[in-house]
Amino acid sequence: MSLRLAEQINTGKFANKIVVMMRLSDLIKGQKGIIKKIEEGPFAVQLMEMGFIAGKSVQVDHIAPFGDPIAVQVAGYVLSIRKADAAHIWIEL
């Protein structure tokens, strides 16, 4: 698993809490997280229409034998998505 971003939150009740953010494409089978951000781009609206909305829970269910696509649970259903598209979705672990 590659770690893309870890940031320290230094304010309020979250002082000294480390928040780990990763791209959905970097999660491994069984990992869960909360959608935090969808990067702007031509596919962003379609991702949101499919249920990838900030604050929603997401879990990787399956990864194809050659690594692409991946199947994720989001908004109460299982969705298959290409890793290139999943790379635009940031998840908090």
Nearest to 36 by CA among 74, 85, 91: 91
What's the rounded mean pLDDT across residues 44-65? 92
- Give the 3-state secondary structure percentages of the chain, helix then strand then coil, rounded to 5: 15, 45, 40
Q: What is the CATH number of domain 23-92?
A: 2.30.30.90
The stretch 85-89 carries a mean pLDDT of 93
pLDDT at 90 over 60: yes
The proportion of the chain whose per-residue pLDDT surpasses 90, expressed as a percent, equals 58
- Arithmetic mean of pLDDT, 68-85: 93
Cα torsion angle, 45, 51, 55, 61, sign: negative
Bond into 69 cis (ω within 30)? yes
Interval 13-52: pLDDT, tens? 555 667 789 999 999 999 999 999 999 888 888 888 888 9
- Are 13 and 77 spatial neighbours (Cβ–Cβ below 8 Å)? no
Average pLDDT of the chain, as a whole number: 84
